[in-house]
Every structure is written in structure tokens, then in C-alpha cells.
Structure 1
């Protein structure tokens, strides 16, 4: 028992006020009941699904009204299920394996329901690794042990085992108390035998196996006759009915396992003390702001100031014990002075160096309900960085920095070098004990009633996850900005601060130096470190207060909630997992590439007739266009010959040297970027490479990868395949590659409404063969490879706005013939021309285009004074809704995937995302089941938001390495 829990127990027994009466709302059951009880409802301003939220709010308000009175709760809490795997999955990997995922339009409402709960002044609690029922059981036991009473607001049979000894249930829908007699009436056993009864009958919803063929009546009869489950199983041979007798003998172990699955634990680690749940009225301003944000205007009129009058004749009428605690609020409220007008005061920031100061700040942060959060580390890689400290902000200039591992810079010996022989007489820095501080921070950072506002929070989530803290819930100002203004500017904190706050944050170099003199952040003195770090949290919170309301105002909240908000947690887990590489294989490839490069260099010297620096563009230009006098040479503004890849590709068909140079450059890039870099990037302890994903890099929603970049390894070249072979599974595991097949062409067929392409995709006909047949009149069964190749080039080229000049270069034909092909294409598929014309008109009028999921992609070039830039903008606009929709779909799949795998009882992990491909690591024994779940999740990812008129197809394969799996 923690100190807080012990204090709660002591106060419950000794306080002069009313005895402890704890009411616990089974919030997950409330949510699903609200969802299924009402027809679908969307918010008018942006189409966000809110039906379950509205139903939940109505039910919660009714409860708050009904519980007023002298016999009602002194403490009230809503207990939620946590989405992660629980200890029961360890006992039985098929636990809840058949439970379908929640409806898509319900998923974005889960977080809103938590916000609603907080807005009504009700505390929220959840616990990773445990179900809500376990927390309810734990708190019920604590209340009972403290001499108090517990009321479970639910009608779920799984909770009936807790009834008795001061614990009852209340079904709010029927306004009925469920005590021992109600359990006996319904199931024929007393509550203390409910675990045994459920172990026998099993549960198809949770996939608890039970005893086949034994239902509730039979189970009750058996328990009545034999007393309890252990006695029944020990004496099963005495049962007269042969089938029943044999079932109990054959399935005894399964029945005992079922008992462990249905038994609730009273020993879950309670995340908060019962004292924290003291009943309080909602804060009127907070409640009003939330209801206004949700557009629940009728409910807002009924609720008024949030102080519910007691309902006459209610079954429970508790006396409210008001507590001077502010309601947590998620919706930004307008401060007296706009945050953008409040100057930054670095002197107001606090450096937390005592536990008393820490506890005081954390208490205020909990009361506020929304806190800006940032970490400071000693490295850029979240997977290996040391944590220097944490910063928090509650309001403008109300921020702090909590240093944890700062050190004095090393003492310098002669010549400025640290020889380690100079005595260090400096006073130790005053900092809190790291484990103690992290334990206190964990309570805040995992509190579901406190929103953590981050900027590029994926990094901070990964840093804290390595220290056993799962930060949740979060919002991310970088992603909010990305949804609002993707394509218009960058979304880094400094740029957003200048743009929206008119403030230049302290640059890192100001506190840490630059170049060789730059020091680690852990060596920065505490005062400048506090100013720098606390300002980051302050800026982040101010940006959220400005940007978050715009999502609803501009109809983009649904885009943020369904495509962006869940991504940081998903990617943080992927980055932490990493992917294993074979360093010996990489070293062998690096040596092989180096030898081949030397051969190509010698060959280039021989062709040129003299030695030269093969890595020097200037020397290459002089040889190609000066000495060899090859045609088509152009000089750059600096007077140097242009020798880029496009130039060399043009020259390669007519001369050997450009081809050799291209091959050398390709090998040089592969060696430097991959084989050498991957060896350096791999963790020597695990041989795993941890890439870093950028969520707001591409305007279309595509992810980018860096340090190292794993998204540009060539797929079709032999050398690229050799590199992919070096990515391997852990022992006993396989890699699974799951790739969307021609997703952009499928989306073109849907968005452009192209009947011919739709028919081909629905029939499963090769799309390039079908296109060639439509264009050139060649029957499908007589298609030759060259004609198909030309159709393929046009299919993919059209998506990117290819010109006759570009197609001519790609197919090595003259421009006139290429233009004729494009003309025929548009004649055969007029819907594509119509789509392109409509998209050009849309981007010219609005400056942006949208995906079918609502993402806005701004195209600033469309308003350029340069004709060439405007044409580029048009081509980008044509491609953006297609590529953007593909990016949206894979994001939707990634957000759903961890839950889908967990619900299926699988330990398979998602490791990489490479454009339209996801890579997983799975135990060999579950690979086939994992592939089925992965394909189903990816192929249905667009639903129900968009009903595509062409099927999405995913090709998935398992193998020992990435190349074989692809």
C-alpha cells in the first residue's frame, strides 16, 4: 500500500464527515452503450463523429443529477480500459482474440469522452496492463477495507463477483440496485460463486473457453451440489451424466485457466489515491467551453452552470463533498490577455530543485488539466539519448525546468584538454534524485485526465518510454499546424513561434555553443538551461492555445484526430523496436562495392585516356564536353559544366563513359549511404538500426525517414536487393513485408471515376495490360511485353503529370510519338482529363487541394509570377490528392495496426514504413495468422470514412530477410 493509499484508509476510518462512499463508473461500458443507443451524429462544423460523446454526456449528467442526496458518493471516479495488452494475454494468448475492432467512427470519440468526463468534474483513471474491471475491483476492495462503501455504476456480469461486504452495483439504465439477491435471481448462485460459474460457462465475447456445452443453469446446479469449482473438478468422476462427466474431466485444465481469466484482481497498482476522487461540481467555464466546442447546445442549456439539482426519489442521493480542485480541461479557453500579446519573461521560470517544489508544481499541473511538456537530452536519437531534464508549462510564463542529470563541464588541463589529474573543487549541482522524480512525473504524464501538449512529441514519447513512462494523452502542435497549413511553411517550434507569437525562442547555440566548442546540454549551467527548456514548454502550450481552436473552426478536427493524433505513439514504438541487420553481410557488401568502384574508376580512366578524379564534377565536365566534345553540354551559372544524373543518362546510350560514371556514382551512394552508414548506425548490443521518422516533412502526408534513411534503398536493382538481404529477423522470427498493390492507380480510378480502370481492378486483371488493350486495341491474351511497358509508363506518368518530353525520354521515342500516346490515353480515359481539369481549377481558386479524407494540401506555387512554377504547381496539385490519399490510408492502417495485432493475441511488431509498405517482425509460429490480420487491417483502412469503388489489395509475405519477404 502506498503512503497516499494508507492516508486515504486512515481518513476514511477517522474523519468526522460522512463515511467513505466511493462510486465508480464503468466508463467503457458507458461509451459503448451510448454509441449503440443513439443514431450516428456528426458535428455540423467539420463532420467529426460525436454521437457517442453526446450520449455519454447525457448519461453522465443524468448520473450526476441522480446521485445528489445524503446517501450519495463522497468520491466519484470514471474508470477506463487501457488499450494495451493485459496480463490475461500472457496467461492465454487467445484472450479476446475474436473481439472485432471498435467501429471506426467511435475511435476518435474515445479521447473526447475522456475530455467530457474531465469537463463534468469527474476524475478519470486507467492503467496499462490491466482492464477497467481490475481497477474497479482494486478500488472497491480498498474502499471496503477502509470501512467504507463502494457502488459500481454498471450492469456488467463480470463485476458481479465483487458484490457483497459493502459493495453493490447500480444499473443506471434501469435505475436498479444490484445486490446479492439480484445475482442469485439472475444466475442461481451467490456473488462469491460467480467466478466459478463464469469459469464453467466461459465467455464467447472475451474468448474465455470454459467447459464446452455447459451453460449457466447447469453450472449453477453443479456448484450448488458440489459447493465450489475445485470440489466439482476433484469429484467429476461421480457425475452421473456421461457427457457432462467427461467434459469436466477432459477440460479440467481449460476450466481452471478460464477461472484465472475471469477472476478480477484486487491487487492492481492503483495509479491514484481515493482521496483524489473527492466529488466536486464542474467548473462552469470549463464545462461550457467543452459543450460549445462539441456543439451540444441543447445539453448546454439543460446543464446550465453544471450544478445538478437532486432528482426526487432517486435510488441514490449522495451528499456532495465539494473540494477546492479545478476541473481538468482539454479545450483551450481564452485567457484575459491573448497569449500572443503576453511578453516572455525568462526570469519567471522556475528551476525545480526540491521535492516540495516539484510536488507543488505537479499538483497545479494536475489541477490545470493541460500542461506543456518537453524533454531535454544529450543526443538527437531518442533511442539512445540520455535524459537531462523535463520542462512543464501551465500558462504563459508559468513554466519550470526539472534538471535530472546535469554535470559540471569537464575540467580542462594543459592546452584545454581534460587529463583527469586536476582536482575538482566545484560544489555538486543541486538536483533531485532521478528515480524519485521520474516516479512522481509518471503519475502526471500517464494521468488520462491531464492532457500533455508537445511539439514533435514522438521524440519525447520515445525518450520517456525507455524510462518506463507511457505519456498519454498527448496533442502535438507540430501536427496541428501541419493539418492547418501543410505546404505553406515549416512546422518546427521556432518557426511557429515567430509566425504565431512574434517571438524568437532562445537558440540552442546560445546556451550550448557552436562547432567544436559546442557542449552537451547536460553541461549547460542550470540557469540558462532553465530559461531555454522552460521556454520550449511555454511556447508549445501557447501555440496549442492559438492553433487548437482553429481545427474546429476550419473543419479539420476530424483530419487531425483520425490521421495525425495517434501517429506519434505508433512511430515512437516502431523507432524503439528498430530492425535487425547483419553487420557481417553489410561489411562484405561494403568491401565488394569498394572493389567494384575501383574497377569502374580504372575503366573510366581507360575510356577517357587519362587519370582524373572520378568524384569531381568539374573534371568530369571538362572531359565529357571539353576533351571528348560530347553533344548537349550546358554550363551552370558558375561556369561549370552540368554533369548531373539527367545529363549523364542522356549521354549514356551514345558513349561508354557516362554509363560507367553513373554506375560508379550509384555504388558510391549505396556504399556511403547504406552499407557503411548502417554498420555505424547499428546498436552494437542488438545489431538493430533505429531510424527516425518525420511526420510533417512532405506536404502530402507521406512520412520521411532519416538517421539512417531506410526509404530510398533501390528495390529493383541487384545491389539494392543485396542491401535488403542484410535486414534480417531476430532468431526464431521472420520479417513480414506487406505492400499495397498499385494503390495510387487504384485511387486515380476511384477519384477520377474511370470505369475502364475500375472494371480491370475489380476483375483482378493486370492494370497495365488492360490499359494497353484499351489504348492500342490489342486483346489482353495477345499482349506483348513492349506494348504493356509503354502503357505502364503512361499509367504511372499520368499520376505525376508527365509531359510528352518526359515520356519520350522514358521510352526512348521521339516527342511526337509520346504526345500521340498521351492523346490516345486521354481519349480512352476521359475521366482522367476531367479530374485533371477540375483539380487545376480547384487549386487556382483555393490555393490548395484536398484528399478524399479531408486533408488540405496547400500549393503556394500556383500563385507564382513564374509560368514554370505555376505549371509545376499544377502538376503537384494533380498528384497531391492521389499521393495524399495513399498516405492517409497507410496512416489509418498504422494507427489501427497495434490494436488489431494485440486483439488477435499476437506479439508481432510493426518495424518500418516505406511509402506503401509496412514491415513487421513476427515469431515464426504466428506468421500466417499475423499476415491475415495485417492484410485485413490494411485493406480495410479506408473504411468507413471512404467507401472506395475499387478494392485495395495488399501483398504480404514472410521470410528470413527483407528482400525475400518483399
Structure 2
């Protein structure tokens, strides 16, 4: 007879977490609950025998904390604290553990694990099966009946009707729900009837039969508190009955037959145990003491993929084929996905098709919008868009299936927009190979798919231009025939999967799991949401600024031509060089390989700094002209064209891999290069505005890199100054110059930041307008007053020379391949960058952690309308209703100030400056 075992996985998880002290695996991840859960599942397998053991088994989990019961009663489980912070990252690993045993891992949105267990129990009993629920939870005891028992693994005993009678004073399992409704549950916040405990509840049910009979008899009871409470709280008792009753009329997420036990394959379990370094369990698996932790056959075979076979890729144009791909993905637990669209702007492009890959060369393309724009053309056979989206959404949101993408942020935005009419889509769980590559190899190479395929797979990807053409003959992807589209699109998914197989095992082996799991991966959907929100821009104000800048540029042009003795094209480096170094005779000009004089910003600043030079004035005016020209073309002109007509907002694109140290970079438009402290920069920021009724809030980390330097270099004087809230630049001025005034404080500020960037004596001399010897004397005094900084620089430089990379406090590596270069300026440039990388990288990690935590914290505080729009260096920009400002400020400040915890405890506080206004500029 079939015998179904249903494991209450949620109960297992918390038992596992509390039974063991905090443990970490060889990658530094918390795994106490994972290890405990794995051993408990293994123990269960050992204890069930062939005679009474299962033929079918599944682990049932809670998908989320919100269920239909919260809709009925908003206080349900409201008092439960959130799970411990070190347990949260273990939830996905526990699902991995379940899959490693090749057991179904079932969870359903809107239902608790108990409800799913009830559904499977009723279905199995109806077919004449036996059922055992592996749990000792009192709510599940309602299900006990002939053919169904419970197994308490903690006490190694079977629980039947007699146990219910013993525990609840004589009631049957069928009456238990009425007892629970009367007595309530303080843990789950089920109200019940005040003053009614288990004994009284059981007595009332045994006397009257059921809950409704008890409530009906209340009027005739002896006067007293019990009678009054039953009458007054009758409705709460009825609500409590609904809350404690298990829902058992929902369709099964997976058929009963699919839960059949077919043995535990060795390879996936071994790979899981090896990944976490669970040596004792590996020894148990191998039945050999001290079994070596070697890569499994599955992992070892990853480097032996066959070349991409484009002709093997499938074009999915019928429903049965699509169902087949989805079924296999659900069974194996992972799938690579990619989207094809009509453009590169994710907030505007239309979805054309979706590609998927399950294994190397097992890839497909699902077209949904091919056919072009010619009304007379015959569209190819393809599945209905709505059908494809409806079938894929459960897979994309299935917590038991890992979705793998490359630059998945783009696909998240495209797909969320495609699902806009049905409430969007939340793709989870996921891995992003572009982020994995960056966390492994930042500084070594680029992270685009083509470069990674060539670097790691020795594969040359089909070029996009070879598919769509170039110039006047270029077509959009929806106009491409399905065969060519399939070869290109399916290859993307196939290559993504192959890269993931390599990167996934490298992350723990190279110590990059921590920054990937705790900093970068959780940020991907946050950035996607920010890009979709965008920010409103005042087009009229930008147009006015463009006109003003054009006028100022024309005036400067007239002045420059007068100084040069005639007109020339200021924007031409060749013409400008000839004017400065040939016509005006300025000394020190240097020509490049092309024979053209250099007129870059460094050269112009050199000329402008020489007050005696005849070119000083013209160089300063050219610098001013260039700044206006750049701001006009990049911002005041371009931003008007970049306003999305569908949203009326500008949507910048953030890259998690664009800055070597881990900082986010911004493009289309780049909002991180707007001058911060100049009047012109402020005017541009004034054009970024809030919607009517809303305000802009800007929250900025104050001197975060100096604070991190004080901590990382262990500088007592600086740590004490930050702890006391002192002016750090005034402190430095006093230490270096013996007095504090406007001049010495300004110089100290320059030195404070310049030292952290490994500036040379020549560089500092140029910034402070002093001789190189004077600059060196200041550097020497600085190191003498703050020796920790000097030690940090020496130790960091020596470390990166030895290892080739620097590391942040969160484990982010930045590689410096030129640190051993024989070319002096390359080597010195790498050294300067390496000095700052751990500090700037740690700063980036902290603000990223703040961004990830911000949304949940605001929701928890009842502030769902506060939206994070921009991240610019050390600043976060929000838009929110004016009435939410007072409540939002402390939440935002707290999240930012505590973002490093608990992974890193700093010796200095993180200061946050917050301002609000109708525009971004006014918020400063």
C-alpha cells in the first residue's frame, strides 16, 4: 500500500536553527540551520524502515509570511518577530539541501505549510493510501484519523488519536479545531476567548459537542466571567475557528504520483556536502572516515562541455513543447533565461521572445512577437503572447527553481513590464552571471557575455549585427526569421548556463560567495525597481538652462578668440593646441603619436595654474567653456530627449559591474558626473523634481571614506574625532599646521582625501599650489601625526603586490594586474588605485546593503509610497508624499547608519545628512 510521508519543513528549519550553535561553512556563510536540517533529514531516512517506511515523500515549506489568514485578520502572527538575520540567507540553502536528497520541495503562495499538508493528506487518504505527517505541531493533529498518524522525530514516537486525547483532556482530533478556537494562540496571535485555556476549552467542547453549541449555550450558563467572555467574544471565537482550521480543498501543486521515492542519487548529495565542506556527512555518505573533499564527477565534468550546436536548438511554437520545457525545469530545479526585445532601453523596449536553457546544447527560443510591421506580410507560426506569459509566470516565481540570467536586471524590467496588466512578476530565486563574474574577476577583464564566452568557454558568440544588420538595412529583432532568431537567442541562454556552471563553483573556492550573496545579488531587483521608477525632470527648466549655457558659451568664445588674436574652433584639440603652443608660444607642450599637441584637462590646468603664463587666462576660459559644453550636451540638451513619453520621467541605467571598486555606475543618462558643489551643477539638479504632492529626499553619507579609513587604518585620533562629532578637517589642520582657519582647513580637507587616493608629492603640490618639497613635507607630517594611515598604505601595497588583489571588509576583491608592471607609470597608477580600493569598495558595499534593506524597512514602517529613485556615489535620493517625511527620515537614517551590521562592526559611527525639497537641488 502506498505510504506518503509529509515533512513539516518549516518546523524542521527552526528546530535545526535552535539546536546548534552558530556555524559557518568554509566560505564564511552561516550554515548552522543548514547542517542541522541536513542531519535531521538524513536521520529521518535512517529511521524509517522498509516495512513501515514511505513509498512517497515530500518536504512542505512556507512560501511567505503572508497568507489568506492575514487578509481575514491583519493581526494574525503580527507579534512574531522576523527570522534571525543569520537564518534568512540559509533558507535558499535549505531548499538546496532538500533537492540534494532528490525530494520534492513544495510551497504555495497564500497558504501555510500546514494547509498544503492537509490538502495532500486528504487526497492521499481518498485514494486509500496511508499518511504520516513528520511533525509534532498541534495544529496538524486535527488531521489525525484512521490511516493517518504523525511522527515526532524529536521524541522518536508515533502520535495518534490517543495522544490528542491525552494532551487536550479527552477530545478527539475532529474536535481539536474547536478547542484551539476557544483557547486561542498567543504565538500566532489567534484571539480565542479571554480566560479560556486548554482545560476549560476541552471541558466546554466535551460537554456541548462543538464550538457553535458552546456559544449558543453561553446565555444559559452560570453568571460569571466565563459566560460574559463567551458572549462578548463570540465573533472572535468564530474567526479563530477559521484561522486554526486547515484549508484542504486546494488543487495539489504537484500530483501525488510525482512524490514517489526513487532512491537518493549519490552525485547531487555529494556535490551539496562538498560545497559546504560538511566532512563528517561526506564521510558518512562514502562510508569512509575522513573522506577527502574532492570535486564531484558532476562538477568535474563541467569543463568538458561540447561546443555549441546551434542546429540542436529548438524553436518552441506549440503549447505541448512549452509545457515540456517548463516541466523539466521544475524537476531539475534550475533554468537559464534570456529575453529578446526591440531595443536596448529596458524601460521602453517591447518583448519579442524568450530563450531558455536546461543543459549545454539543450536550449530553445519561444517567439511571441515576430513578424515585423508590414501589414501585408505573413507572420510566422508562434504561440500567443498571453498564453506564453501565463505559463511562464509560475516558473519565474517558483521558489524551488533557480532562474539564471546574464545582466538579469534588464530581463527583470522587460518581463515586469510585460506582466504589467497582471501585477508584474517577481523573478526569484536567481543567479546573475554578470554579477558573479564581477565578484570573481573585477579588474581582470570586462564582463559582457561575448568577452566571458571567449575567456572562459573559448567560444565566439554570434554577433548581434550579423543577425539584424547595420546601418540603413538594420532591422529590429522581431523582423528576424525564426531560424536565425533561435540560433542567436538560444545561444545566449546556453552560454549563460555554461558560464554559471563555472562561476558557481568558483565563488566559494575563491572566497567570493559572501559579497555575492550578501551585497551584490540581492541588489539586482532593487536596481531594477529604481530604474523602472525613474525620476521626473522639468523639461522647461532644462530648455531654459540650455539657452543660458549657449549664451555663456558664446560670450566665452568671443573672449577666447580675442585673447587668441582671431577665431578658431575651440572644440578642436588640434586647433586649440596650435593656438596655445605655436601661436601664443606657451612652453611645455607635449605632442602625442599623431603629432597633435595634448590639450586635455591636466594640461590646461597646468597652464592655468601658472599665473605668469600668457596662456593662463585663456586656459581657464577654455576649461569653463568645456564644462558648459559638456553639461549642455550631456544634461540640459540630452535629458530633454531622454524623457520617457510613457512615464514622463527619466530612467537612468545602473551597472553593478561598471566601476572596478564595486561602486554603481550610471549611464543613459549618467547622473553621477553632475558637479556637486558648483552653482551650475545645482541648477541642473534643480531640474530633477517631485510629482505634485511629493518631495525629494536626499540622504548622504557624511565623509564615509574618511570614517572607513579611520577604522581600517586604526587611527585613534580620527576615530575619537568621529565618535565625538568633531570637524575632522579642523582636527587635521590643527595637527598639520598648528592653527585652524579657512585656509588651513581647506588645505587639510584636500590632504585628507588626497592621501587616501595615494597621491604623489607632485599631485599634491599641483592641488595645493605649492612646491613638491613643501607637499612632501605635508605628507610626512600627516603620516607622523597619523601613523596608522602610513601603515595602512604600506601594508595594502605590499599585500596587493603579493596577491594581485585588494579586499574590502565584506570580502570584495579588486584585481590589479598592472601592479607588477615594468612600466613605471602603469605600476604607480595601480598602486594608487589599490590604496583606495578597499576603502571605496567597502563604502560601496555599505550603501548597497542599505539599498537592499531600505524597501523592507520602509514597508515595515508603513511607508509603501516612499520610493528610492537614485544612487549617486554616497547619496540615496527618494521621492515621497510630503506627509511621510517625518516618519521616513528616521527609518532611512537608521537603515543607512546600520547597513554594515551584523557582518561588519565599525569603530566609528556612520553619519547621515538628510535634506528635503521640491527638487533634488533643493534637498541639499
Q: Same fold (TM over 0.5)?
A: yes
Identify the residue that residue 387 of structure 1 maps to in structure 2.
Answer: 351
- Select the residue among 623, 626, 631 that pairs with 1:670: 631
User: Quick one: distance in 1 between partners of 2:636 and 2:150?
Assistant: 63
Contact 2:359 2:494 in 1 (8 A): yes
Shift of 1:488: 0.9
Evaluate the alpha carbon distance shift between residue 305 and residue 696 of structure 1 in structure 2; reply closer, same or farther with a 3 A threshold. Answer: farther
User: Which moves more between the two structures, 672-681 or 220-229?
Assistant: 220-229
User: Quick one: distance in 2 between partners of 1:711 and 1:229?
Assistant: 66
Work out whether 1:574 is the aligned partner of 2:525.
no
Contact 1:93 1:906 in 2 (8 A): no
Contact 2:118 2:247 in 1 (8 A): yes
Contact 1:739 1:916 in 2 (8 A): yes
Identify the residue that residue 898 of structure 2 maps to in structure 1.
Answer: 940
User: Quick one: distance in 2 between partners of 1:98 and 1:687?
Assistant: 42
Contact 1:391 1:402 in 2 (8 A): yes
- Select the residue among 689, 693, 697 that pairs with 2:650: 689
Identify the residue that residue 473 of structure 1 maps to in structure 2.
Answer: 429
User: Quick one: distance in 2 between partners of 1:608 and 1:243?
Assistant: 100
Q: Helix, strand or coil: the match of 1:488?
A: coil
User: Quick one: distance in 1 between partners of 2:487 and 2:76?
Assistant: 50
Shift of 1:843: 1.5
Evaluate the alpha carbon distance shift between residue 373 and residue 639 of structure 1 in structure 2; reply closer, same or farther with a 3 A threshold. Answer: same
User: Quick one: distance in 2 between partners of 1:29 and 1:730?
Assistant: 47
Identify the residue that residue 178 of structure 2 maps to in structure 1.
Answer: 193
Evaluate the alpha carbon distance shift between residue 678 and residue 214 of structure 1 in structure 2; reply closer, same or farther with a 3 A threshold. Answer: farther
Normalising by structure 1, we get a TM-score of 0.83
Identify the residue that residue 517 of structure 1 maps to in structure 2.
Answer: 473
User: Quick one: distance in 1 between partners of 2:309 and 2:287?
Assistant: 35
Q: Helix, strand or coil: the match of 2:343?
A: coil
Identify the residue that residue 814 of structure 2 maps to in structure 1.
Answer: 857
User: Quick one: distance in 1 between partners of 2:570 and 2:427?
Assistant: 51
Offset from partner CA, 1:222-262 (integer Å, 9 cap, x none)? 9869975999799999997799969997x999999988877
Identify the residue that residue 751 of structure 1 maps to in structure 2.
Answer: 712
Q: Helix, strand or coil: the match of 1:342?
A: coil
User: Which moves more between the two structures, 748-757 or 372-381?
Assistant: 372-381
Offset from partner CA, 1:685-733 (integer Å, 9 cap, x none)? 3223222221222221111121222222222222322332333344554
Contact 1:130 1:268 in 2 (8 A): no
User: Quick one: distance in 2 between partners of 1:236 and 1:636?
Assistant: 101
User: Quick one: distance in 2 between partners of 1:517 and 1:84?
Assistant: 53
User: Which moves more between the two structures, 387-396 or 577-586?
Assistant: 577-586
Work out whether 1:700 is the aligned partner of 2:661.
yes
Shift of 1:85: 6.3
Evaluate the alpha carbon distance shift between residue 304 and residue 681 of structure 1 in structure 2; reply closer, same or farther with a 3 A threshold. Answer: same
User: Which moves more between the two structures, 516-525 or 87-96?
Assistant: 87-96
User: What does residue range 546-557 of structure 1 map to in structure 2 within 5 Å?
Assistant: 546-557=502-513
Contact 1:284 1:305 in 2 (8 A): no
Contact 1:211 1:247 in 2 (8 A): no
Shift of 1:65: 3.5
User: Which moves more between the two structures, 950-959 or 745-754?
Assistant: 950-959
Instruction: Count residues in correspondence.
Output: 901
Contact 1:741 1:954 in 2 (8 A): yes
Shift of 1:922: 3.9
Q: Helix, strand or coil: the match of 1:406?
A: coil
Normalising by structure 2, we get a TM-score of 0.87
CA RMSD across the alignment: 3.9
Identify the residue that residue 874 of structure 2 maps to in structure 1.
Answer: 916
Contact 2:215 2:234 in 1 (8 A): no
User: What does residue range 178-217 of structure 1 map to in structure 2 within 5 Å?
Assistant: 190-193=175-178, 196-197=181-182, 202-203=186-187, 208=189, 210=191, 216=197
User: Quick one: distance in 2 between partners of 1:736 and 1:269?
Assistant: 47
User: What does residue range 71-110 of structure 1 map to in structure 2 within 5 Å?
Assistant: 73-82=54-63, 101-110=82-91
Shift of 1:115: 0.8
User: Which moves more between the two structures, 435-444 or 392-401?
Assistant: 435-444
Offset from partner CA, 1:66-106 (integer Å, 9 cap, x none)? 44456655543323344586667777888777765544433
User: Quick one: distance in 1 between partners of 2:635 and 2:319?
Assistant: 47
Evaluate the alpha carbon distance shift between residue 773 and residue 388 of structure 1 in structure 2; reply closer, same or farther with a 3 A threshold. Answer: same
Contact 1:583 1:687 in 2 (8 A): no
Offset from partner CA, 1:542-580 (integer Å, 9 cap, x none)? 222233222233333333322333232332233233333
Evaluate the alpha carbon distance shift between residue 305 and residue 524 of structure 1 in structure 2; reply closer, same or farther with a 3 A threshold. Answer: farther
Shift of 1:899: 3.7
Identify the residue that residue 307 of structure 2 maps to in structure 1.
Answer: 343
- Select the residue among 659, 675, 688 that pairs with 2:620: 659
- Select the residue among 785, 797, 802 that pairs with 1:845: 802
Evaluate the alpha carbon distance shift between residue 92 and residue 431 of structure 1 in structure 2; reply closer, same or farther with a 3 A threshold. Answer: same
Identify the residue that residue 341 of structure 2 maps to in structure 1.
Answer: 377
User: Quick one: distance in 2 between partners of 1:88 and 1:628?
Assistant: 82
Contact 1:340 1:502 in 2 (8 A): no
Q: Helix, strand or coil: the match of 2:630?
A: helix
Work out whether 1:296 is the aligned partner of 2:278.
yes
Identify the residue that residue 728 of structure 1 maps to in structure 2.
Answer: 689
User: Quick one: distance in 2 between partners of 1:802 and 1:252?
Assistant: 76
Work out whether 1:430 is the aligned partner of 2:391.
no
Identify the residue that residue 111 of structure 1 maps to in structure 2.
Answer: 92
User: Quick one: distance in 2 between partners of 1:923 and 1:255?
Assistant: 40
- Select the residue among 424, 440, 448 that pairs with 2:391: 440
User: Quick one: distance in 2 between partners of 1:273 and 1:400?
Assistant: 26
Identify the residue that residue 457 of structure 1 maps to in structure 2.
Answer: 408
Work out whether 1:803 is the aligned partner of 2:760.
yes
Identify the residue that residue 558 of structure 1 maps to in structure 2.
Answer: 514
User: Quick one: distance in 2 between partners of 1:176 and 1:594?
Assistant: 84
- Select the residue among 635, 642, 660 that pairs with 2:598: 642
User: Quick one: distance in 2 between partners of 1:442 and 1:866?
Assistant: 54
User: Quick one: distance in 2 between partners of 1:94 and 1:713?
Assistant: 47
Q: Helix, strand or coil: the match of 1:613?
A: coil
Identify the residue that residue 823 of structure 2 maps to in structure 1.
Answer: 866
Shift of 1:931: 3.4
Evaluate the alpha carbon distance shift between residue 922 and residue 120 of structure 1 in structure 2; reply closer, same or farther with a 3 A threshold. Answer: farther
Contact 1:76 1:279 in 2 (8 A): yes
Higher relative contact order (CA closer than 8 Å, sequence separation 6+): 1
Shift of 1:851: 1.8
Offset from partner CA, 1:426-479 (integer Å, 9 cap, x none)? 4x3121222222233234333333333322222223323332443322222222
Identify the residue that residue 911 of structure 2 maps to in structure 1.
Answer: 953
Offset from partner CA, 1:842-879 (integer Å, 9 cap, x none)? 12122222222222211011121201111111111111
User: What does residue range 168-247 of structure 1 map to in structure 2 within 5 Å?
Assistant: 170-176=151-157, 190-193=175-178, 196-197=181-182, 202-203=186-187, 208=189, 210=191, 216=197, 220=201
Evaluate the alpha carbon distance shift between residue 668 and residue 352 of structure 1 in structure 2; reply closer, same or farther with a 3 A threshold. Answer: same
Evaluate the alpha carbon distance shift between residue 387 and residue 67 of structure 1 in structure 2; reply closer, same or farther with a 3 A threshold. Answer: farther
Identify the residue that residue 7 of structure 2 maps to in structure 1.
Answer: 25
User: Quick one: distance in 2 between partners of 1:384 and 1:285?
Assistant: 44
Shift of 1:669: 2.2
User: Which moves more between the two structures, 628-637 or 349-358?
Assistant: 628-637
User: Quick one: distance in 2 between partners of 1:961 and 1:131?
Assistant: 45
Shift of 1:119: 0.7
Evaluate the alpha carbon distance shift between residue 402 and residue 97 of structure 1 in structure 2; reply closer, same or farther with a 3 A threshold. Answer: same
Shift of 1:304: 5.5
Evaluate the alpha carbon distance shift between residue 735 and residue 332 of structure 1 in structure 2; reply closer, same or farther with a 3 A threshold. Answer: farther
User: Quick one: distance in 2 between partners of 1:158 and 1:957?
Assistant: 50
Q: Helix, strand or coil: the match of 1:107?
A: coil
Evaluate the alpha carbon distance shift between residue 786 and residue 530 of structure 1 in structure 2; reply closer, same or farther with a 3 A threshold. Answer: same
User: Quick one: distance in 1 between partners of 2:749 and 2:245?
Assistant: 60
User: What does residue range 398-417 of structure 1 map to in structure 2 within 5 Å?
Assistant: 398-407=362-371, 409=372
Work out whether 1:618 is the aligned partner of 2:582.
no
Work out whether 1:496 is the aligned partner of 2:429.
no
Offset from partner CA, 1:4-45 (integer Å, 9 cap, x none)? xxxxxxxxxxxxx64xx654433333223212210122223x
